[in-house]
Chain A
Amino acid sequence: MSASPSLRSRLAHQVRDIPRSGIRDFFDIVSTMKDVISLGIGEPDFDTPWHVRESTVFSLERGATHYTSNLGYLELRKALGKYVRKAFGAEYNPDNEILVTVGVSEALDIALRALLNPGDEVLFHEPCYVSYRATILFAHGVPVAVETRAENGFRLTRAMLEAKVTPKTKVLMLNFPNNPTGAVMSRADLEDIAAFARERDLIVITDEIYGELTYDAPHTSIVSLPGMRDRTIFLHGFSKAWAMTGFRLGYACGPAELIEAMMKIHQYTMLCASSLAQKAAIEALARPDVDVGEMVGEYRRRRNYLVSAFAEMGLECHRPLGAFYAFPSVAKFGLKSKEFAIKLLNEERVAAVPGTAFGDCGEGFLRCAYATSLDNLKEAMVRLKRFIGKL
């Protein structure tokens, strides 16, 4: 594994200096063990809906195996335009305002690369998805983390942003419903943030990959608020709501100038997203409500179960309102998150990711994904209870 010192010295600094994902380290430990119940999986346990899979096979037979337009199949972009208007409340022109990407990860990367000059600052809230800080750094930006807190339901407030904004701030990144906390922003919460972005003239990048997965109130997107569409890049994809993680299919919607700039990078690096994945997405969008509705009901019941099981064993946890993660506090046991997670894994064979994998302010928390069967959750709760009883 270890490269010779001379080769290491040749690596680009911003790559060399970025640590590997904390998730990766944890994965390496878990993968050596047997009979582990994993609450560490950040992808749905549902299968991709059968009609989507069946139709993908048909597309393969029909020979949809060639390059597509750089932006993606027009048929797909048209379907996306309709879906985003209905589900998120913003209008985009399929001809030049929608770009189909290789997952939201690519979309985020090229959005940042399209916007940032070296030294430009990017505000993002932590705890957050593991890639944000690194992606900003790869794009030669300066990551400025804004800490969200459990007592506030891990929501972002204008005051938190005001404390960190500078004249160099160019971009504000949002991710609600949130991985790893399950936090959601109400319309009123978002209105404050939108006003801040307008007054500071910031570009907003909003990653709404969990947008369909809210349990107590419908999701509001910041793009639907007045004056926001024209300064926002909206990112979404098929991984979570349609359980299509391996298809690697995402998309970006935004004003034509921004999408054009992102398309330049996409065209020279990716060329296009996988043709078969795009065909699968067209089929998925043909009946979104049926597929997604079933999953949402199931996740909601599991969320309820998990939160009340935590409460019963005296584990503090804010009520997660979206995505499929709970983020209980384990601070009172006097162990660091990582120590707690490793001890839990060794002693009870339950894997949950230490909060620090999602930013320093995740210290004291544990991410428990409920994208696993109820039987697994029940057994995991029995083990967790036994474990904290011994601490």
Chain B
Amino acid sequence: MDELLKILEGNALESRATIAKMLNLPLAEVDKRIADYEKAGVIRGYQAILNEDQLDLDKVTAVIEVKVTPQREGGFNTIAERISRFPEVRSAYLMSGTYDLLLFVEGRNLHQVASFVSERLAPLEGVISTSTHFMLKTYKRLGVLMHSEQPDERLAVSP
């Protein structure tokens, strides 16, 4: 992967000037490459990684395994894209194994997620079955630990 993307994936707020220094590139070149990635849709957005457990939100997240029937034209894509459009669906993946789609669905409470599943998701044409699991606690998200690391215990000066 382009090192530029790696840096942005680690910290999207890194200044362009610092990125230019790290990559030994002129600032204008960094600006251009980021603009190109945005235009091409490689970079789809920039988000903060929150520890939601600290925020006491009225929110639950469910992980839903979905079995579907692939369509004659479009295979899994048609149904998967259809399901992905619901705003309750935060992430959606096509999977190998005993089910086809894996969804991360958010709602205000268990009841709301349950009604999404029973009233919107399950009745869709092509959906064969669903299996819903509620998340209880987040330890790590997007490569970031949700508990603080120990402070740096290295000696302040060493050979």
Whether B159 pairs with A23 at a CB distance below 8 angstroms is yes
Whether B23 pairs with A27 at a CB distance below 8 angstroms is no
How far is it, in angstroms, between the C-alpha of A351 and the C-alpha of B21 when the chains are bound? 22
A88 at the binding interface (Cβ < 8 Å): no
A45 at the binding interface (Cβ < 8 Å): yes
Residues 299-329 of chain A, each 1 if its beta carbon lies under 8 Å from chain B, else 0:
0011011001100000000000000000000
**Count of inter-chain pairs, beta carbons less than 8 A:** 58
Q: Shortest distance in angstroms between A327's beta carbon and chain B's nearest beta carbon?
A: 14
Whether A40 pairs with B23 at a CB distance below 8 angstroms is no
Residues 1-43 of chain A, each 1 if its beta carbon lies under 8 Å from chain B, else 0:
0000000000000000000010100110011000010101111
Whether B21 pairs with A304 at a CB distance below 8 angstroms is yes
Whether A41 pairs with B18 at a CB distance below 8 angstroms is no
Whether B23 pairs with A41 at a CB distance below 8 angstroms is no
Contacts of B152 in A (CB 8 A): 45
Whether B159 pairs with A30 at a CB distance below 8 angstroms is no
Q: Shortest distance in angstroms between B151's beta carbon and chain A's nearest beta carbon?
A: 12
Whether A41 pairs with B158 at a CB distance below 8 angstroms is yes
A130 at the binding interface (Cβ < 8 Å): yes
Whether B157 pairs with A27 at a CB distance below 8 angstroms is yes
Whether B158 pairs with A43 at a CB distance below 8 angstroms is yes
A99 at the binding interface (Cβ < 8 Å): no
Contacts of A387 in B (CB 8 A): none
Q: Shortest distance in angstroms between A378's beta carbon and chain B's nearest beta carbon?
A: 7
Contact partner, A41, options B3, B14, B21, B157, Cβ 8 Å:
B157
Whether B24 pairs with A41 at a CB distance below 8 angstroms is no
Interface range, B side: 10 to 19
Closest to A29 in B: B157
Contact partner, A305, options B22, B154, B158, Cβ 8 Å:
B22
Whether B158 pairs with A378 at a CB distance below 8 angstroms is no
Whether A23 pairs with B157 at a CB distance below 8 angstroms is yes
- If A308-B21, A309-B21, A374-B18 touch, whether A301 touches B3 (CB-CB below 8 Å) is yes
A267 at the binding interface (Cβ < 8 Å): no
Whether A36 pairs with B156 at a CB distance below 8 angstroms is yes
Whether A353 pairs with B18 at a CB distance below 8 angstroms is no
B50 at the binding interface (Cβ < 8 Å): no
Whether A130 pairs with B159 at a CB distance below 8 angstroms is yes
Residues facing B in A101-134 (CB within 8 A) are 129-131
How far is it, in angstroms, between the C-alpha of A278 and the C-alpha of B153 when the chains are bound? 23
A297 at the binding interface (Cβ < 8 Å): yes
Q: Can you report 15 A-B residue pairs in the complex whose CB atoms are below 8 A from each other?
A: A23-B157, A23-B159, A27-B156, A40-B157, A40-B158, A41-B157, A42-B158, A43-B154, A131-B159, A302-B22, A304-B22, A305-B18, A308-B24, A351-B157, A374-B22
Given contacts A36-B156, A38-B156, A40-B156, list 16 more A-B pairs with CB under 8 A.
A23-B159, A27-B155, A27-B156, A27-B158, A30-B156, A31-B156, A40-B157, A41-B154, A42-B158, A43-B158, A301-B3, A301-B22, A304-B21, A308-B21, A353-B157, A374-B14
